[in-house]
């Protein structure tokens, strides 16, 4: 019976064959422990000389790291391993003997590992992060489907900027200028006027020369947009959504969290509602914490966000930023037009901003004004304004950065390990 490691619990006491790679091994004169992985999981195979015979046993002892093989044996329960099962090897067939696999069990430097990303993905830790990323994606679709949202795909090639023109990747679109999408938001606003509650989920690009643990050049964003919802309504969606993905990972990725040594008690606490603090109060909090030179009107940097997040166990919404430091489309607070109806959601443990969201300007004249103030031109000018011309309604939306969310939930330091093939400043390989 050919099966996979993930399916092994169904075959206790039975003889199965698994296609696998040899991750590591340890052996003595009479017994060899083979650490096997097959993509679906990790388990130990035990090869005993008395069962295999002298020749086959010597072959097992000589197997090299990352050799591919079919292993046959009986599945038994093994309470010592967290997986809970092992395979008593009765036979194996080598598919290919791998020679000098570059990533050995010893420590390697980050640049070396990044240069071998195509192989590094096979390691236990990287495998776990990819499984958690997959679970977040699955739980995202589940959440929005259960709540009546329609998935709408935004274009990647666009004629204008969505967030700010300095970070655009330029390309040619035949004879025209085009840019890789920074955000699908403007298109989601159009889609919300057609379908009510929508979300996009796609790659976005920022030609930002930032070299921090939170920045990628290419990253994936989930962007819901809701007609007839104000900023308060949107915050409720955000906290429920983030709670849902965290609780889904806790439930469905136990072995992966364990492989990453993730402290799960801090994740258990991530349940809606989340605390909120206004930008004004956040500035005061920072002053109280010793950031004496921060002034009202300045944007927060990573150290500020980390300091604010330290005061809470859950992600915290920082609301109502000054209009001048936020995007052109955010709706001013009617009581206080110098601030906008927006929030950034800051993750705990120093992972920074995972969501940016706002209520959008729905007034045609004000939006026209904003285009002028921000000197925005390009092809969105016409169609985006038309959304305010024909049946404008209050609407809100947000964008969650997938990789920063994966980093936080997995507990990995840097976003470069949260996407299969990261695009970073100075890295387009592999």
Give the closest residue to 392 by CA, choosing from 232, 237, 228, 233.
Answer: 228
CA dist 160 and 182 (Å) reads 10
Of the pair 135, 353, the CB lying nearest ligand 4AD is at 353
Q: Mark residues 245-284: x for contact with ligand 4AD by CB under 6 A, - for none.
A: ----------------------------------------
How far apart, in Å, are the Cα atoms of 102 and each of 91, 108, 118, 378, 406? 28, 10, 11, 49, 27
Q: Out of 78, 208, 281, 349, name the contact with ligand 4AD by CB under 6 A.
A: 208
Of the pair 221, 307, the CB lying nearest ligand 4AD is at 221
Which residues on neighbouring strands pair with residue 3, listed in sequence order? 18
CA dist 349 and 267 (Å) reads 11
Contact flag: residue 356 with Mg ion (CB under 5 A)? yes
Which residues on neighbouring strands pair with residue 399, listed in sequence order? 356
Of the pair 57, 398, the CB lying nearest ligand 4AD is at 398
Contact flag: residue 189 with ligand 4AD (CB under 6 A)? no
Smallest distance from the beta carbon of 259 to ligand 4AD, in angstroms?
24
CA dist 324 and 18 (Å) reads 60
User: Which of Mg ion, ligand 4AD, none is residue 384 near (CB under 5 to 8 Å by kind)?
Assistant: none
Q: Out of 69, 128, 216, 270, name the contact with ligand 4AD by CB under 6 A.
A: 216
Contact flag: residue 346 with ligand 4AD (CB under 6 A)? no
Cα angle 29-35-41, degrees, rounded to a multiple of 5: 160
CA dist 245 and 232 (Å) reads 21
Smallest distance from the beta carbon of 79 to ligand 4AD, in angstroms?
41
Show contacts with ligand 4AD in window 347-376 (CB under 6 A).
353-357
User: Which of ligand 4AD, Mg ion, none is residue 208 near (CB under 5 to 8 Å by kind)?
Assistant: ligand 4AD
Q: Out of 401, 409, 411, 418, name the contact with ligand 4AD by CB under 6 A.
A: 401
Of the pair 43, 180, the CB lying nearest ligand 4AD is at 180
Which residues on neighbouring strands pair with residue 77, listed in sequence order? 85
Dihedral of CA 210/212/214/219: which sign? positive
User: Of 83-91, 125-133, 366-374, 396-404, which segment contacts ligand 4AD by CB under 6 A?
Assistant: 396-404
CA dist 275 and 100 (Å) reads 52
Q: Mark residues 161-180: x for contact with ligand 4AD by CB under 6 A, - for none.
A: -xx-----------------
CA dist 130 and 420 (Å) reads 7
**CB-CB neighbours of 206 under 10 Å:** 21
N- to C-terminal Cα distance for the chain?
37
State the residues that interact with ligand 4AD by CB under 6 A: 162-163, 183, 185, 206, 208, 215-216, 219, 221, 223, 353-357, 397-399, 401, 403-404, 415
State the residues that interact with Mg ion by CB under 5 A: 356
């Amino acid at each position: 019976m050919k099966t996979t490691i993930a399916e092994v619990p169904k075959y206790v006491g039975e003889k199965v064959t698994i296609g696998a790679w040899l991750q590591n091994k340890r052996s003595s004169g009479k017994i060899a422990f083979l650490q096997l992985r097959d993509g679906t999981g990790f388990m130990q195979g035990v090869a005993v000389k008395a069962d295999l015979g002298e020749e086959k046993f010597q072959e097992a002892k000589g197997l090299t790291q990352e050799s591919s093989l079919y292993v046959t044996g009986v599945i038994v329960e093994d309470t010592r391993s967290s997986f809970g099962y092992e395979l008593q090897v009765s036979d194996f067939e080598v598919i290919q003997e791998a020679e000098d696999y570059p990533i050995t069990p010893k420590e390697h430097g980050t640049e070396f590992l990044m240069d071998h990303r195509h192989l590094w993905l096979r390691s236990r830790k990287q495998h776990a992060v990819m499984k958690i990323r997959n679970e977040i994606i699955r739980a995202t679709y589940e959440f929005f489907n259960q709540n009546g949202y329609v998935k709408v795909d935004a274009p990647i090639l666009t004629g204008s900027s969505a967030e700010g023109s300095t970070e655009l990747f330029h390309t040619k679109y035949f004879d025209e200028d085009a840019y890789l999408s920074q955000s699908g938001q403007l298109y989601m606003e159009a889609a919300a006027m057609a379908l009510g509650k929508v979300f996009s989920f796609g790659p976005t690009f920022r030609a930002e020369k930032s070299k921090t643990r939170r920045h990628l050049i290419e990253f994936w964003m989930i962007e819901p947009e809701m007609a007839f919802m104000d900023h308060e309504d949107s915050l409720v969606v955000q906290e429920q959504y983030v709670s849902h993905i965290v609780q889904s990972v806790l439930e469905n990725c136990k072995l992966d969290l364990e492989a990453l040594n993730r402290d799960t008690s801090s994740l258990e606490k991530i349940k809606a509602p989340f605390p909120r603090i206004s930008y004004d109060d956040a500035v005061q909090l920072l002053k109280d914490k010793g950031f004496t030179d921060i002034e009202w009107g300045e944007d927060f940097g990573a150290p500020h966000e980390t300091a604010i997040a330290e005061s809470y166990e859950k992600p915290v919404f920082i609301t109502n930023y000054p209009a001048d430091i936020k995007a052109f489309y955010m709706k001013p607070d009617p009581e206080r037009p110098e601030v906008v109806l927006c929030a950034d959601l800051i993750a705990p443990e120093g992972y920074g901003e995972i969501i940016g969201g706002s209520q959008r300007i729905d007034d045609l004249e004000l939006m026209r004004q904003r285009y002028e103030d921000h000197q925005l031109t390009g092809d969105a000018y016409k169609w985006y304004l038309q959304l305010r011309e024909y049946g404008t309604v209050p609407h809100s939306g947000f964008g969650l950065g997938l990789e920063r969310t994966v980093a936080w939930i997995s507990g990995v330091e840097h976003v470069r390990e949260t996407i299969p093939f990261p695009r970073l400043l100075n890295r387009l390989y592999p």
